[in-house]
Chain A
Amino acid sequence: MRSSVLLRRAIRGVRWYVRELTDESAYDRYVAHLRKTHRDAQVPSRREFERMRTDRQEEDPRQGFRCC
């Protein structure tokens, strides 16, 4: 019983970390942010949001640049 709880917690932790590190959680975060700060703003669909994100990178390639 105890170990299964620990295991489930570990899996949840890993899943959370992977989603955060890969920025897969970016959409959820943005929606949460929008709901909290601009209650009546239109929430974009995930597809629209992801497009907006790559367009931003397109405009300024220094976003997310990596080092040698």
Chain B
Amino acid sequence: MRTANVRSIVIWTLVALVGAAGWSVLALSRGENVSAAWMIAAALGSYAIAYRFYAKFIAHKVLKVDGTRATPAERLNNGIDFHPTDRRVLLGHHFAAIAGAGPLVGPVLAAQMGYLPGTVWIIAGVVFAGAVQDMVVLFFSTRRDGRSLGQMAREEIGPFGGAAALIAAFAIMIILLGVLALVIVNALAASPWGTFSIAMTIPIALLMGFYLRVLRPGRIAEVSLIGVALLLLALVAGRWVAESSWAGTFTLAPSTLVVWLVAYGFIASILPVWMLLAPRDYLSTFMKIGTIALLALGVVIALPTLKMDAVTDFASRGDGPVFAGSLFPFVFITIACGALSGFHSLISSGTTPKMIQKETQVRMIGYGSMLMESSVAIMALVAASIIDPGLYFAMNAPSGAIGTTVQNASQAVTGWGYHISPADLAQAAKNVEESTLLSRTGGAPTLAVGVSEIFSKVTGGSLRAFWYHFAIMFEALFILTALDAGTRVGRFMLQDILGNVIRPFRNVSWKPGLVITSAAVCALWGYFLWVGVHEPLGGINQLFPIFGISNQLLAAVALAVCTTLLVKSGRLKWAWITGIPLAWDATVTLTASYQKVFSSDPKVGFFKQRSVFQDAIDAGKVLPPAKSMDDMHTVVTNSTVDGVLSAVLAVLIVVVIADALRVCIRHIRRPALSSLSESPYVESRITAPAGLIPTREEKEEERRAVVGTAAPGD
């Protein structure tokens, strides 16, 4: 055991002081403008401490990672999906796989409660729950040849919990795709610039696909550069189109966009992977990493001032226009990605464990990547909090609440205690060359306004509209890729489920089965998208809580699997490491679903909402924000579907946790009954550092290994 030297004590004291200073300023300032620098200081200080101490403690004391044990990448190396990958490369891979639109959308919506609740949850959540989940799942999957979460649930908990996990994963995929598509529709509706540049990504991807398939196979870096250059050209050309006579062709109503998106999702998901999916994926990964790096740089250089309140009145009253419900539990389900995201467990099991060189690297890859994603969420929160709160609420409230003119919107916002003049609202839209910014819900447009604010501070105001559309394009790009890839995964799950009943479906390349299941998946998420667009009460307002609940449900499954495995592998005294996050996650998710089902506030409870509107229909009345009897019936149908869905998700959570608990108790009582499907120990023959920067001992070890194995003349 190494004793701490003076230098490291001094360094870590300084890091702790920076973090503490950030937290103190955030906690103590009220009613004055706070610089975003303090938020960043609090985040980075906390991440560093958590990574250095808590993650290290979990890796070495709890998981007991073993550097001498060969990982699946080494044992099963086939040169394709199983191969030991350099830790710095794998960090990039894993980060690009887990970070998408999620950490950018949730924090923006949660900003309605003020910046403080979101900041506290993002940082505390990632340190104690999200990053722990990612690392522990990665560790256990690595010990099981890269088994997926569903397989682990089936093997370690049982067929019942496993089936619940499978249904949960499918339900989540559908809701996720519906909500992500809704975000896109809200960003592109009536925006010819945005619609044109996004439409151009399709021919660009086809061109790249052709290049890689026929002209120069495998030259991914060069084709990505060509693609990015064309993408930027499409972005600039978007402005020309918007100012030309073609503008009308690309000015689409939300319902038209729904049809286009569902058609795109269906066609893209049955085309060969090389045509659209693979090239789109390269393009969006390039843009993702580039833009996130630019954004981090922009925030640090511009150090903008936060204009949003630290905590708004909506936090306690629970009647916010963006989403209904009070701070607890709704902030904790609105921000999933960036704090605790169940989806990551699908990446941490399956793909990454097949590539990791050493068990000792789970801290850097699992915990480290999640900290990086959390910092993306913090940047999104900064971007949402630096714009005028009046504009923020005008952009994120459904049109049922603020009307469709700048005058009405200005009045409604004043009623909530914020001020923005009709002229300022119109000017804000004009600054980014959009016809309107009212009710552009879904988070993407708000984020884009925030990003354009930050970037134009660095590059000058004349590029503001360009940066706005750059940010929209960046989000739309990977949401469209997610629609394609997600439809394929959903189809795969459906084929798997149907294959048990109707034999031919079991063959995943059977064409009729492939087309039928793809169409079914598109129809399902298309239904939610259609409902979201036509919802009189606001699609994001109604659907986002369900999306949050389902994502946290998947986290509950992952944490339940982790806790069960900790107990079964003789780590009972450390079961709280994932047990407490599981208890917290279950409390939050079940409270949220309970309120969504049983609350007597018609803004929160779906069934109360249903009965209020049904009673009005029976009495022949039309209740605002519905404008007609048709709207009234739409509300009744949607509330029923949403309410039933919330209840089903809650039941699934209870089933998984109860089944996991049963297995844990059985193990404690009669350990002989439980089996652990861990791959046997094989000694590792490779050496690799555990962290980003190799220690002196690791360098020495590596040097010796090279001398020992290199054949003469090799």
Contact = CB atoms under 8 A, between A and B. Distances in A.
Interface of A: 17-24, 26-27, 29-30, 32-34, 46-47, 49-51, 53-68
Interface string B68-89: 0000000001111101011011
Interface in B174-191: 176, 180
Q: Which 10 A-B pairs have the closest CB atoms?
A: A33-B79, A61-B488, A68-B102, A22-B220, A50-B217, A30-B79, A20-B89, A54-B274, A24-B220, A67-B343
A13 B337 CA distance: 32
Contacts of A63: 81, 351
B79 A34 contact: yes
Contacts of B97: 64-67
Contacts of B99: 67
A67 B221 contact: no
Contacts of B219: 24
A59 B343 CA distance: 22
Given A17-B88, A50-B218, A61-B489, A67 B98 contact: yes
Given A68-B101, A68-B180, A62 B218 contact: no
B273 A62 contact: no
Given A22-B282, A26-B80, A68-B337, A59 B508 contact: yes
Chain A contact residues, majority secondary structure: helix
B207 interface: no
A56 B351 CA distance: 14
A49 B488 CA distance: 23
Contacts of B509: 58-59
Contacts of B281: 64, 66
Given A21-B92, A29-B83, A68-B343, A57 B273 contact: yes
B119 interface: no
Given A21-B92, A67-B346, A58 B217 contact: no
Given A56-B80, A61-B491, A68-B100, 15 more contacts: A21-B92, A24-B219, A27-B218, A30-B80, A33-B83, A57-B277, A61-B488, A62-B350, A64-B97, A65-B489, A66-B281, A66-B347, A66-B478, A66-B485, A67-B344
15 contacts: A18-B221, A22-B285, A24-B220, A26-B218, A29-B83, A32-B79, A49-B217, A57-B277, A62-B148, A65-B351, A66-B100, A67-B341, A68-B100, A68-B180, A68-B341
B217 A33 contact: no
Given A62-B350, A66-B482, A19 B221 contact: yes
Contact of B485 (A19, A53, A54, A61): A61
B96 interface: yes
Interface string B325-362: 00000000000010001011011001100000000000
Interface string B462-500: 000000000000000010011001001101100000000
A46 B218 contact: yes
A24 B351 CA distance: 18
B454 interface: no
A55 B278 CA distance: 11
A20, A22, A27, A50: which has the most chain B beta carbons within 10 Å?
Answer: A22
A54 B176 contact: no
Interface string B548-591: 00010000000000000000000000000000000000000000
Contacts of A18: 221
B80, B86, B213, B481: which has the most chain A beta carbons within 10 Å?
Answer: B80
